[in-house]
Amino acid sequence: MTGLLEIRGLTIDIARDNGPARVVDGIDLTVNEGESLGIVGESGCGKSLTMMSLVGLLPNRIRATGGTARFGGRDLLKLSGRELRRVRGSEIGFIFQDPMTSLNPVIRVGDQIAEALVYQKGMAKPQARARAVELLALVGIPAPEERANAWPHELSGGMRQRVMIAMGLAGSPKLLIADEPTTALDVTIQAQIVDLVRELKDRLKMSVVWITHDLALIAGLADRIAVLYAGTVVEDAPVAAIFDRPTHPYTRALLGSLPTLAGEAMSRLPSIQGTPPEPGRRPPGCPFAPRCGLARASCSETVPRLAALPGDAGHRVACPVALEGAI
Ligand SMILES: Nc1ncnc2c1ncn2[C@@H]1O[C@H](COP(=O)(O)OP(=O)(O)OP(=O)(O)O)[C@@H](O)[C@H]1O
Ligand SMILES: [Mg+2]
């Protein structure tokens, strides 16, 4: 497998009146071709900003200030606004959390997808319209010719999310990034959307990045999981290794407090005592040390780097204490 997307040392800062505050602090992530990577971590750890930085969608006053993001032979962080517009949609597709705010309520769903095709692919309108119907069928919307004429509010939440996926796929991207796309949906529909994306990933030979709070949901989709904490990757491993051999104290805390009864909803990440650091108020050393039961004095001095877990292929963890214990 080769790396389709390789993020190295990414830093993102928020400009504040009293100086920049760092929110993403040296993220390393790789997405291989045909692979699905799950990204988990508490609210505010920098999941969305990391993905937005790739395609030039960072909000005002927030900038990628360091690192590289290689994709298709280029560094995305160095592309101009015009080049990034071309990458968005046609090379990297996005699905966002809330279809009701992401879909335009006054444009029929088929027309919205067709517009994306005209814009991204330069298609003529009638062709774009026909392709929009095909895309609605591809994402499992029944009677797609009819549904293409529906307004967003006429569709159920699950159907709207399928429309969002169709829009994300409109440009035939090599990489689909889904940012908590199912949070607003009920559990059964969430599972259907996950199944759909897994099937589409194989059929269209795409890679997928799926951001979520929901470890159980992602287990059915991801080949690999990256656990983020306070703007850094603390553990990165094949999905089975994350569940069988969680090694970073933060990952263990996340998994240790998941209910184990079969069938019981393991929906949101459980709470761990304490709170993550505010942007710009990172403690020296390991950002998790103040909440960590295993922390030693040295943890507050040196920032831990991701290191390979010996004898466990592809499993990396940013915690010298846990590494020692695992050897
Ligand atoms: N527009 C903004 N202005 C100022 N701060 C922001 C803005 N967007 C995000 N942040 C801050 O940057 C940090 C990372 O935000 P990000 O949206 O990437 O988090 P996240 O991991 O996606 O969280 P969630 O799970 O809640 O979506 C947070 O502390 C957040 O408060
Ligand atoms: Mg987010």
For residue 212, the ligand closest to its alpha carbon is: 1
Residue of 7, 13, 14 to mutate, ligand 1, most atoms within 8 A of C-beta: 14
Tell me the pLDDT tens digit for each residue of 72-114: 999 999 999 999 988 988 899 988 776 666 788 999 999 999 9
- The token pair at 302 is 């040196």
CA 90 vs. chain centroid, Å, equals 18
Cα(306)–Cα(236) distance, rounded to whole angstroms?
8
**Nearest atom of ligand 1 to the alpha carbon of 12:** 12
CB 147 within 8 A of CB 134: no
What spacing in Å lies between the alpha carbon of 17 and ligand 1's midpoint?
18
Residue of 22, 25, 48 to mutate, ligand 1, most atoms within 8 A of C-beta: 48
Alpha helices in the chain (DSSP H): 47-54, 81-90, 99-102, 109-121, 125-138, 144-147, 157-169, 187-204, 215-219, 239-244, 249-256, 320-326
Question: Which residue, 34, 72, 76, is CA-closest to 53?
Answer: 76
**Nearest atom of ligand 1 to the alpha carbon of 180:** 27
**CB hemisphere CA count around 73 (13 angstroms):** 0
* Three-state SS at 87: helix
| CATH 3.40.50.300 segments of the chain | 34-61+78-91+173-326
Q: What is the pLDDT of residue 264?
A: 42
Whether ligand 1 lies within 6 angstroms of the CB of 43 is answered as yes
* Smallest CA separation from ligand 1 atom 25, residue: 43
CATH of domain 34-61+78-91+173-326: 3.40.50.300
Q: What is the pLDDT of residue 271?
A: 60
For residue 43, the ligand closest to its alpha carbon is: 1
Q: What is the pTM of this model?
A: 0.91
What spacing in Å lies between the alpha carbon of 47 and ligand 2's midpoint?
6
Q: What is the pLDDT of residue 327?
A: 55
For residue 25, the ligand closest to its alpha carbon is: 1
What spacing in Å lies between the alpha carbon of 106 and ligand 2's midpoint?
26
Q: What is the pLDDT of residue 1?
A: 58
- The token pair at 87 is 């990458």
b/e burial code for range 310-326 (CB count within 10 A of at least 16 → b): eebeebbbbbbbbbeee
Q: What is the pLDDT of residue 98?
A: 66
Q: What is the pLDDT of residue 267?
A: 43
* Smallest CA separation from ligand 1 atom 29, residue: 44
Residues of the chain with pLDDT under 70: 1, 98-101, 257-271, 326-327
Q: What is the pLDDT of residue 120?
A: 82
